[in-house]
């Protein structure tokens, strides 16, 4: 294992029997590479290459509706996007949806995780039922809530929530509220399950000791549960934040971006597919990619999110 | 043992995958050399299908028209077609095109220009307004098959004479404390409305591929009327999300006095709201200024032949057949879709399709002003107009509203910026 | 916790609330799908009159004309094929990561994690352009390839977690008996790994079944590769201007059935799979 890269020290420690690069070690290494090659190839084929291609397209004037135009555009497409008020409004929308839905999901998810963890009865029923929102097709969930809130078909306007005939999708605020609501319903279970995984790793003895010391349930939660769950929370937040940032399906079904409810993904889709303006659309794509990188970077550095990628270094 | 299970699963999937491949081949082979693929939305009356089947039969096996259905909403139809044509798909022969796509599709090189020998039959007795939608840079690219127009529908039991102008209409509705149904969601339907208003006030959105027209005075008048309705008690609660169907449902509920809509609402009311149907009257679209003519919206379908089709000659044979007068009448009888030939409106069969309002239909289509469909960047233009006037409940003071609309349209025709 | 205590009541209320909240939208869609066109707009939770017409309409026209059958077949086949390939490729990789030592291991893991977070919208445009050039636009491979890419990280992480739990000595025993690493993998590890692979397969299948963005950008026809979520969004109604609410609701219920079955039968596995990767973090 002399050639092992630093992150693998932990992994090497699990296999203390191996010393030096034996014949079997070399064969093992070759086999490992061969085993990884197909998956790595497929993953690169559809991400690294296209993102590079997007970069190239974003520097050109490419509009499939105007096949005779074209040519190198330099940073024009980026300037167009970044100087557009619409872009910043859409970024703001997306961040708003992301932050609000992730915060609500974290709180609700934590409650549901605690219920699943502590419940003495009904645990199976709760787990089974919360998996439905997780597994259901996002478009289906979006239609369900769309029809529920829509004044033409919905029941929401017949309830105490909304005594008058409210056009929920008629203005930005209420439309985004429904979008966030649908997102929260769909993804809270995922959050809850990730948090549950963190909960199960906590040693019960700690709670017993705290109880003996007279700590209240709230104190136990704040002093023991939260600190020990920090890694699980960080991972769950990272995943959900990046996932929420990509929000597309719900908005597509509910408003199709009307009432200024576009997300960055909807905006990108409109440029790429509705307008076939591949140059401009690719600039949007590249910018979205960069924003995702920045968000991930902030999480890893700021929260010290020890993402599963580092698990062998544990 | 589990290993064996796994290998069985793999084998099963492999078989399924192969059979899927066979489906695909089977589909193509089933197409055959003389099959024409016609991409069009599923017209519920079934007229186009019946006409196409009859034509296929009459051709004596020369061609067979096979339908592939597109979604209902024009935006969604276009999105599907554009993706296919952008991918230079050879499997499309005939395209049922919303009249607003002509410029964009022709400019992109997706349409085959109509050959001279077809232009004759394709233009005979056809409304000028309709023909204008078939051309791009003075060349005919598509063949009109049916038209459409919006009328002013009113309740005869609530008002004696239909109003001439939008202001009169709003006055009456406010006085009667009843609603007016229009299309105000941010989609193509809003452009239909805005275009009719702008043209009726005496100006246009654009005067050339990249020139904005929008004279200040008339544009402001048009916007002021839309603003007035948006802020009026006569507006339906869902005006900012309303479309043709929600307007129809709203009118059928009974608390509306006026509705701007296509003639499909007439047959719908007959089935769903017979009481209201009895009191339904049809009139020509209102104008913005008193004494000036209205510019009712124009709808309808033109048939285009894909530039990537391998069977263009057959495709034009099929078109010649489908647009025959008797076939236009069949389409009107089965689905209520108005013919593009002006002379047909005197035919008793058409008078039966539009009982008592066939003349109103003819008048409306004759007066109608097409949307700026010659613009190759029509989609951008449409999105820009939508952003410029939506939501009508929040149109501000005329100066600001005018500037805003102008900016959006300007940006759109130059294809600048995000939309 | 005893029946009748205050604590018991609070728990019961909480549990019931969660279950109702999770299941309610499915119930609502089901009721909506059973309404007649005349009552679809009445906004009632319980239909005044029941009808199966919305379901029948989905299948009328048979293989060629039914608006739903082909997309359903496409969805099933594409998800199955993508899942199978993803699980095979991912188990190779996960085996290497869990059991073997090689330089680049951290890179593979970090790379697949990065892909799990990758925004699909960023590659949709280039893929559209590439696929139309390669002629695989609106074909099965055109969807399977991107699904593979985005499903692989999920599969790799789940499988690595499971593979680490497999008793290690058995493989070594096989090696002592003279088996090559490949034989050790096939004869010893695969049988032990099958439950984990099955779990990963469920998760990947749900992922592929769920996709919408690729399905609407890289396909365009039910004869091609359009899947149910894309078909749903572009359903055609009774008339050009009427919304096909009842049919969409019915189709939505039908695509939810497999998910409900998975959840009912494999609840434990799904939970284990979802949490497996994260616990180790």
What is the domain partition of chain B in residue ranges? 34-147+299-367, 151-295+377-413
Alpha carbons C29 and C35: distance in angstroms, whole number: 10
Domain contains C171: yes
CA distance B300 to chain C (A): 11
Arch. (CATH architecture) of B151-295+377-413: 3-Layer(aba) Sandwich (3.40)
Show which of residues 94-153 on chain A sit within 8 Å of chain C, judged by CB atoms.
111-112, 115, 119-122, 124-141, 143-145, 147-148, 152-153
Specify whether C27 is located in the same domain as C131: no
pLDDT per residue as tens digits for the range B334-384: 989 999 999 999 999 999 999 999 999 999 999 999 999 888 888 889 988
Domain contains C44: yes
Report the SS3 class of residue B101.
helix
C128 has a chain B CB within 8 A of its CB:
yes
Specify whether C100 is located in the same domain as C202: yes
Residue B373 token pair: 């469909």
* Optimal mutation site among C14, C28, C101, interface A, most CBs of chain A within 10 A: C101
Specify whether C155 is located in the same domain as C223: yes
Chain C residues whose CB is inside 8 A of the B20 CB are: 73, 77, 140
Bond preceding residue B391 cis, omega within 30 of 0: yes
Chain A residues whose CB is inside 8 A of the B377 CB are: 65
Show which of residues 243-262 on chain A sit within 8 Å of chain B, judged by CB atoms.
256, 258-259
* Contact (CB<8Å) B72/C139: no
Chain C residues whose CB is inside 8 A of the A144 CB are: 25-26, 28-29, 252
Q: Residue A72: its pLDDT value, please?
A: 87
Looking at chain A, which residue has its C-alpha nearest residue C20? A129
pLDDT per residue as tens digits for the range B269-320: 988 889 999 999 999 999 999 988 899 999 999 999 999 999 999 999 999 9
Specify whether C272 is located in the same domain as C205: yes
Backbone φ and ψ of B126, nearest 5° = -85, 140
* Optimal mutation site among C13, C16, C18, C71, interface A, most CBs of chain A within 10 A: C18
Residue A115 exposure: Cα atoms within 13 Å on the Cβ side: 27
Specify whether C263 is located in the same domain as C201: yes
Specify whether C96 is located in the same domain as C119: yes
Percent over 90 (pLDDT), chain B: 64
* Contact (CB<8Å) B83/C236: no
Nearest Cβ partner for A274 among B79, B187, B241: B79
Q: Residue B200: its pLDDT value, please?
A: 95
* Contact (CB<8Å) C81/B13: yes
Question: Which residue bears the tokens 């089935």?
Answer: B271
CA distance A10 to chain B (A): 32
pLDDT per residue as tens digits for the range C208-228: 999 999 998 898 788 889 999
Looking at chain B, which residue has its C-alpha nearest residue A252? B76
Q: Which fold has domain B34-147+299-367?
A: D-Maltodextrin-Binding Protein; domain 2 (3.40.190)
Looking at chain C, which residue has its C-alpha nearest residue A5? C103
Alpha carbons A289 and A272: distance in angstroms, whole number: 15
Residue bearing the bigger pLDDT, B130 or C43:
B130
Q: Once rounded to an integer, what is the mean pLDDT over residues C149-163?
A: 89
Alpha carbons B297 and B307: distance in angstroms, whole number: 29
Residue bearing the bigger pLDDT, A60 or B23:
A60
Q: What is the CATH number of the domain that holds C105?
A: 1.10.3720.10
Chain centre to alpha carbon of residue B368:
13
Specify whether C225 is located in the same domain as C128: yes
pLDDT per residue as tens digits for the range A179-213: 999 999 999 998 998 898 888 888 888 888 888 88
Show which of residues 247-286 on chain B sit within 8 Å of chain C, judged by CB atoms.
248-249, 262, 264, 268, 272
Nearest Cβ partner for A65 among B108, B240, B391: B108
Specify whether C34 is located in the same domain as C116: no
Specify whether C83 is located in the same domain as C40: no
pLDDT per residue as tens digits for the range C166-207: 887 777 788 788 888 788 777 876 788 788 889 899 999 999
Alpha carbons A285 and A271: distance in angstroms, whole number: 10
Chain B residues whose CB is inside 8 A of the C186 CB are: 3
| B10, pLDDT greater than 80 | no
Q: Once rounded to an integer, what is the mean pLDDT over residues A98-124?
A: 90
Specify whether C90 is located in the same domain as C173: yes
Q: Residue A306: its pLDDT value, please?
A: 54
Domain contains C1: no
C256 has a chain B CB within 8 A of its CB:
no
CB burial of residue A68 (10 Å; 0-12, 13-18, 19+): exposed
Report the SS3 class of residue B39.
strand
Alpha carbons C139 and B25: distance in angstroms, whole number: 12
Alpha helices by DSSP H, B2-126: 2-31, 47-58, 74-86, 102-107, 116-123
Q: Residue C223: its pLDDT value, please?
A: 82
pLDDT per residue as tens digits for the range C42-87: 778 888 888 888 898 888 877 877 888 999 999 999 999 999 999 9
Specify whether C143 is located in the same domain as C244: yes
* Contact (CB<8Å) B3/C190: yes
* Contact (CB<8Å) A170/B377: no
Residue B228 exposure: Cα atoms within 13 Å on the Cβ side: 17
Q: Residue C242: its pLDDT value, please?
A: 58
Specify whether C155 is located in the same domain as C213: yes
Q: Select from B323, B321, B313, B280 the least CA-distant residue to B131.
A: B323
Q: Taking the CB of residue A85, how many other CB atoms lie within 10 A of it?
A: 9
Alpha carbons C116 and C156: distance in angstroms, whole number: 11
* Optimal mutation site among C241, C245, C248, C251, interface B, most CBs of chain B within 10 A: C241
* Optimal mutation site among A4, A12, A137, interface C, most CBs of chain C within 10 A: A137
Residue bearing the bigger pLDDT, B5 or A72:
A72
Range of the domain at C14: 6-51
Backbone φ and ψ of C191, nearest 5° = -60, -40
Whether the CB-CB separation of B244 and B261 falls below 8 Å is answered with yes
* Contact (CB<8Å) C132/B86: yes
Write down all domains in chain A, each with its CATH number in brackets. Answer: 21-58 (no CATH), 85-313 (1.10.3720.10)
> Do the domains B151-295+377-413 and B34-147+299-367 match in fold?
yes
Q: Residue B361: its pLDDT value, please?
A: 96
Q: Residue C2: its pLDDT value, please?
A: 63
Tell me which DSSP letter residue A215 carries.
-
| A308, pLDDT greater than 50 | no
pLDDT per residue as tens digits for the range A205-256: 888 888 888 888 888 888 888 888 888 888 889 889 999 999 999 999 998 8
How many structural domains does chain C have? 2
Q: Residue B414: its pLDDT value, please?
A: 80
Neighbours of chain C (3+ CB pairs under 8 A): A, B
């Amino acid at each position: 294992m002399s050639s092992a890269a630093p992150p693998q020290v932990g992994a090497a420690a699990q296999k203390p029997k191996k010393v030096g690069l034996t014949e079997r070690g070399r064969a093992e290494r070759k086999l490992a590479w061969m085993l990884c090659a197909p998956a790595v190839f497929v993953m690169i084929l559809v991400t690294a290459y296209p993102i590079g291609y997007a970069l190239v397209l974003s520097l050109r004037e490419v509009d499939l509706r105007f096949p005779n135009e074209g040519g190198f555009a330099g940073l024009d497409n980026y300037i167009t996007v970044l100087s557009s008020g619409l872009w910043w409004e859409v970024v703001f929308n997306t961040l708003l949806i992301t932050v609000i839905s992730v915060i609500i999901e974290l709180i609700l998810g934590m409650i549901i995780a605690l219920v699943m963890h502590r419940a003495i009865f009904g645990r199976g029923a709760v787990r089974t039922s919360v998996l439905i929102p997780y597994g259901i097709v996002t478009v289906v969930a979006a239609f369900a809530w769309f029809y529920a809130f829509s004044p033409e078909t919905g029941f929401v306007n017949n309830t105490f929530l909304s005594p008058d005939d409210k056009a929920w999708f008629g203005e930005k605020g209420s439309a985004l509220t429904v979008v966030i609501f649908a997102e929260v319903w769909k993804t809270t279970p995922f959050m809850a399950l990730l948090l549950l995984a963190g909960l199960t790793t906590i040693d019960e003895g700690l709670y017993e000791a705290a109880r003996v010391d007279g700590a209240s349930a709230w104190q136990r939660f704040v002093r023991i549960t939260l600190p020990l769950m920090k890694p699980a929370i960080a991972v769950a937040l990272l995943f959900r934040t990046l996932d929420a940032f990509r929000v597309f399906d719900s908005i597509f079904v509910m408003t199709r971006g009307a009432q200024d409810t576009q997300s960055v993904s909807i905006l990108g889709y409109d440029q790429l597919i509705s307008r076939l303006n591949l140059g401009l659309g690719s600039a949007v794509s590249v910018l979205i990619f960069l924003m995702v990188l920045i968000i991930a970077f902030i999480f890893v550095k700021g929260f010290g999110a020890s993402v599963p990628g580092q698990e062998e270094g544990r | 043992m589990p290993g064996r299970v796994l290998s069985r699963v793999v084998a099963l999937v492999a078989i399924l995958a192969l059979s899927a491949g066979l489906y695909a081949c089977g589909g193509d082979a089933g197409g055959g050399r003389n099959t024409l693929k016609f991409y069009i939305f599923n017209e519920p009356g079934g007229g186009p299908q019946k006409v196409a089947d009859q034509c296929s039969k009459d051709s004596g096996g020369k061609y067979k028209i096979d339908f592939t259905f597109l979604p209902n909403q024009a935006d969604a139809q276009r999105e599907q077609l554009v993706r296919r044509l952008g991918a230079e798909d050879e499997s499309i022969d005939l395209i049922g095109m919303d009249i607003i796509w002509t410029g964009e599709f022709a400019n992109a090189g997706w349409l085959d220009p109509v050959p001279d020998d077809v232009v004759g039959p394709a233009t005979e007795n056809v409304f000028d307004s309709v023909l204008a939608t078939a051309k791009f840079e003075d060349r005919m690219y598509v063949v009109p098959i049916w038209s459409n127009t919006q009328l002013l529908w009113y309740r005869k039991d609530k008002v004696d004479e239909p109003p001439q102008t939008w202001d009169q209409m709003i006055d009456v509705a406010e006085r009667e404390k009843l609603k007016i149904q229009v299309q105000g969601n941010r989609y193509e339907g809003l452009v239909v409305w805005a275009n009719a208003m702008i043209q009726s006030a005496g100006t246009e959105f654009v005067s050339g591929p990249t020139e904005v027209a929008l004279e200040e005075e008339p544009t402001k008048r048009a916007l002021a009327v839309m603003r007035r309705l948006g802020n009026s008690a006569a507006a339906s609660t869902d005006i900012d999300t309303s479309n043709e169907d929600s307007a129809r449902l709203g009118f059928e509920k009974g608390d509306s006095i006026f509705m701007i809509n296509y003639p499909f609402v007439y047959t719908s009311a007959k089935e769903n709201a017979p009481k209201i149907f009895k009191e339904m009257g049809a009139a020509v679209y209102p104008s913005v200024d008193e004494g000036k003519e209205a510019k009712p919206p124009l709808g309808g379908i033109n048939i285009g032949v894909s530039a990537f089709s391998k069977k263009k000659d057959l495709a034009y044979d099929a078109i010649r057949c489908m647009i025959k007068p008797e076939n236009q009448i069949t389409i009107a009888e089965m689905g209520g879709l108005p013919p593009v030939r002006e002379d047909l409106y005197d035919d008793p069969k058409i008078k039966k399709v539009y009982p008592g309002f066939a003349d109103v239909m003819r008048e409306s289509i004759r007066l109608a002003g097409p949307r700026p469909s010659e613009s190759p960047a029509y989609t951008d233009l449409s999105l820009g107009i939508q952003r410029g006037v939506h939501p009508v409940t929040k149109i501000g003071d005329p100066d600001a509203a005018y500037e805003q609309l102008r900016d959006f349209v300007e940006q759109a025709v130059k294809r600048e910026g995000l939309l | 916790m005893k029946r009748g205590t205050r604590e018991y009541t609070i728990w019961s209320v909480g549990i019931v609330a969660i279950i109702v909240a999770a299941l309610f939208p499915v119930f609502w869609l089901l009721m909506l799908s059973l309404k007649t066109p005349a009552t679809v707009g009445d906004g009632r939770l319980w239909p005044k009159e029941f009808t199966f017409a919305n379901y029948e309409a989905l299948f009328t026209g048979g293989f060629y004309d039914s608006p739903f059958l082909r997309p359903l077949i496409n969805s099933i086949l594409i998800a199955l094929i993508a899942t199978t390939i993803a699980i095979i490729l991912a188990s190779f990789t996960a085996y290497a990561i869990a059991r073997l030592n090689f330089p680049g291991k951290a890179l593979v893991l970090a790379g697949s994690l990065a892909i799990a977070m990758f925004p699909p919208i960023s590659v949709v445009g280039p893929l559209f352009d590439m696929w139309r050039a390669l002629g695989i636009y609106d074909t099965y491979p055109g969807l399977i390839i991107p699904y593979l890419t985005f499903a692989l990280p999920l599969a790799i992480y789940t499988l690595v977690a499971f593979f680490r739990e497999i008793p290690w000595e058995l493989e070594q025993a096989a090696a002592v008996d003279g088996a090559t690493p490949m034989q050790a993998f096939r004869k010893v590890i695969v049988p032990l790994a099958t439950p984990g692979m099955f779990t990963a397969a469920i998760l990947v299948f749900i992922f592929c079944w769920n996709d919408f963005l690729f399905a609407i950008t890289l396909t365009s026809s039910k004869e091609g590769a359009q899947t149910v979520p894309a078909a749903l969004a572009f359903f055609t109604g009774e008339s050009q201007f009427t919304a096909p609410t009842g049919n969409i609701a019915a189709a939505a219920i039908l695509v939810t059935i497999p998910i409900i079955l998975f959840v009912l039968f494999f609840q434990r596995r799904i939970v284990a799979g979802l949490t497996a990767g994260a616990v180790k973090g």
